[in-house]
Chains A and B, each alone.
Chain A
Amino acid sequence: MLNYHFDWSIITSGKYFDWLVSGLKTTLEISAVGIVGAFLIGLLIAVLKMSHFAPLRWAASAYLEFFRNTPLLVQIFFWYFGSYKILPAAVNDWLNNTNFEFAAAVLALTIYTSAFIAEDIRSGILSIPKEQMEAARSAGFSYLRSMQYIILPQAVRITVPPLVNQFLNLVKNSSLAMTIGVMEITYQARQVESYTFKGFEAFTAATVVYLTLSVTITAAMEFYNRRVLNPQRG
């Protein structure tokens, strides 16, 4: 280690810098698509889990338990290597003509994250006192309109911090996409390392990127907690 010759220039300019930047772009792309998808599916599962129709509740629970209790890596491998046998031929054709690595990684991350988000949304909705719903109903709102105008606007405010946290997890988890060849930031750091043998520099670059993202997002969340959730405390 003492003989190691540091050369930071390789990661601050030129070809390898471009690789790392394109890796960061891919990481952000996966995370952005993933969080939108995971939010929508998570919302649906949360609603199903609170349904009055028992089989829907059971289906939602099975979904939640299964995807939360299996490793993300295995889920990625399943979608990447194994999904062709259970998907319709038309979908397989379409997938083979797109960037399949990217699609499989996004699909796996979306489904994995949605299972965590569903619980966050559900506990957000359950945290709204049930008198709110009763008051809305007695004021003449239908169930759906009460949800839309009274419950959800309040629940969303409470659910934002855990959702942001899940987004942060998604950014970190997207590093696993490298195992199926998606060229995100960890993949590119590894590429730079194997081309230049400058592992310390390459992994420092990726580490700095992840830490910057997490520090920024955490700071934004704390700002939100202070200003929006507890405004009276300044």
Chain B
Amino acid sequence: MDFQVIADNFTYFMIGRYPNGPLGGLGLTLYLAVVSCILSFFGGLILGLLSLSRIAVIRYPINALINAVRGLPLLMVIFWMYFLLPAVLGKPVPESRTVIAALTIFTSAYMSQIVRAGIEGIPKGQVEAALSTGLKPWHAMLYIVLPQGMRNMIPSFVNQFVSLIKDTSLAFIVGVSEITHVGTQVNNRTMAYPTEIFIFIAAVYFIVCFAFTSFSRWLEGRLAWRKSI
């Protein structure tokens, strides 16, 4: 094995042609993951709250939507966005936006389950106490339940972010030049070093994802410790 090919293309793997061209490589991977993560945090929060609504007309369709998205492969969601977005918006959509839209819809559905579990994990007495002090149900959720639930959700959010980083590799399929795409590109150009290139790319993902996985475990331990005192 000869890892010279990695050293020769290292900057390209990390940031693509930036700053002389568009951002690519690991930089674009992280950009896609961070943007989709922020968007799907809010998406998940809204879907999670709506899925717990007492109004059946809201609850049922939202749950159906969440379960439908969770029943599909991400690849399928990406293809749907690829077709639907330009048709609905009536203009071409850049591939990276398509991917961000697909990742956001897909991850929101999973985040909503985390939000839901976090809210359901707060004892009923908290809501009852809040309501009996005169808070409106909406305020009880916002000021009493969510802040407590959110703390328990954080480790799961971090795990979801790790999944998101891994999922951005599928942007490859619509030609977004994140690190997996860069890997196949360099592989097609150099021909002789597929083993080295894909081991390197796997290692890069591993370093990033394992750091966040360990962070989430540390958080979990800390939260458990806080609860025990």
Contact = CB atoms under 8 A, between A and B. Distances in A.
Given A81-B198, A83-B195, A203-B83, A178 B180 contact: no
A172 B201 contact: no
B72 A78 contact: no
Nearest to A186: B75
B205 A69 contact: yes
A206 interface: yes
B97 interface: no
B101 interface: no
B112 to A, nearest CB: 16
A78 B187 CA distance: 11
Contacts of B183: 74, 77
A142 to B, nearest CB: 35
A81 B187 CA distance: 9
Given A71-B166, A77-B184, A175 B198 contact: no
A189 B75 CA distance: 12
Nearest to B198: A78
Interface residues of B, number: 40
Nearest to B86: A1
B107 to A, nearest CB: 14
A148 interface: no
Instruction: For chain A, give the interface size range.
Output: 35 or more
B72 to A, nearest CB: 5
A86 B58 CA distance: 55
A52 interface: no
Contacts of A178: 75
Given A69-B205, A175-B76, A215-B71, A82 B199 contact: yes
B105 to A, nearest CB: 13
Contacts of B170: 73, 176
Contact of B76 (A82, A83, A206): A206
A134 B162 CA distance: 39
Contact of A86 (B71, B74, B195): B195
B163 to A, nearest CB: 10
25 contacts: A69-B162, A69-B205, A69-B210, A71-B169, A71-B180, A74-B202, A75-B202, A78-B199, A81-B194, A81-B195, A85-B194, A175-B73, A176-B75, A176-B170, A178-B75, A189-B79, A200-B83, A203-B80, A207-B76, A210-B72, A210-B73, A211-B71, A214-B70, A214-B72, A218-B67
Given A172-B73, A186-B76, 20 more contacts: A69-B162, A69-B166, A69-B206, A70-B166, A70-B202, A70-B205, A71-B166, A71-B167, A77-B180, A78-B195, A82-B195, A172-B72, A175-B73, A175-B75, A199-B83, A203-B76, A206-B76, A210-B72, A211-B68, A218-B67
